Amino acid sequence: MTDPRPALAARWAATVAQARDAAQEGPDPAPYADNLLRRWAEPQRRYHTTDHLVAVLDRIDELAAHAEDLPTVQLAAWFHDAVYRPDRSENEERSAALAERALPELGVDAARTAEVARLVRLTVTHDPAPEDRNGAVLCDADLAVLAGGPDAYAAYAAAVRAEYGFVPDPDFRAGRAAVLRQLLALPRLFRTPQAHDQWEGPARHNLATELALLKSGGAPVTGDGG
């Protein structure tokens, strides 16, 4: 398997160059990429991995025309799960705080740093305001996994369960069902027109199917259960 880290480090460097204050050169972005990629590869992760980072960045590229400030959204993708412990509830806040420390060091101005941090915190709810174009792109990219085909969605659901392997099955089912209900209650899962048209229907089908299985105590979602 090809190591994704060199390509990701190059993407990071290009994004930092675009986001950096023109009046400041800033330090070499490579060590920051190394730090972030080590975080994304931590052993407790099963879904929130480097593969997820790649997927979110790729979906942002697909939705780029909708973003108000594309480099800011891309930076937010890098940081949005940079701190991740499945047994803690403050991951998004700690990830945002990491961005607030690192980006000024890299020569990113205060306004753009604040916007990155805001976007990271927005992934708690995935509920951007109607006029929030940057938030719509990041949240749509982060939730795109919900619209996968049967096998892809089954792999996603299994990876989420594996991250919470320390949680007893009844408790996991209750907590996961609450998350699914929260998502299904959103008026729109996807806020950009492109994502809504392509992903809304499949995602709602997948969520409803998983929720029904959780309620019935049935087997986890599989490719055959699509």
CATH of the domain at 80: 1.10.3210.10
Are 69 and 36 contained in the same domain? yes
Are 106 and 117 contained in the same domain? yes
Are 122 and 109 contained in the same domain? yes
CB proximity list for 167: less than 8 A, separation 6 or greater: 175
State the pLDDT at residue 224: 31
Are 129 and 152 contained in the same domain? no
Does 22 score more than 90 pLDDT? no
Are 139 and 154 contained in the same domain? no
Are 113 and 196 contained in the same domain? no
pLDDT in tens, 62-109: 999 999 999 999 999 999 999 999 999 999 999 999 999 999 999 999
**Rounded to whole angstroms, how far apart are CA atoms 106 and 15?**
11
CB proximity list for 209: less than 8 A, separation 6 or greater: 221, 225, 226
Which percentage of the chain shows pLDDT scores above 90?
A: 89
Are 102 and 45 contained in the same domain? yes
pLDDT in tens, 161-201: 999 999 999 999 999 999 999 999 999 999 999 999 999 99
Model confidence at 215, in pLDDT bands (50, 70, 90)?
confident
Are 168 and 80 contained in the same domain? no
pLDDT in tens, 42-54: 999 999 999 999 9
**Total domain count for the chain?**
2
**Which of 161, 128, 130, 132 lies closest to 143, judged by CA?**
128
Q: Say if CB 205 and CB 153 are below 8 A apart.
A: no
Q: Tell me which of 85, 113, 144 is where a domain ends.
A: 144
**Which of 124, 137, 153, 135 lies closest to 59, judged by CA?**
137
Task: Give the domain extent around 78.
Answer: 5-144
**Rounded to whole angstroms, how far apart are CA atoms 220 and 222?**
6
State the pLDDT at residue 221: 45
State the pLDDT at residue 218: 60
pTM equals 0.93
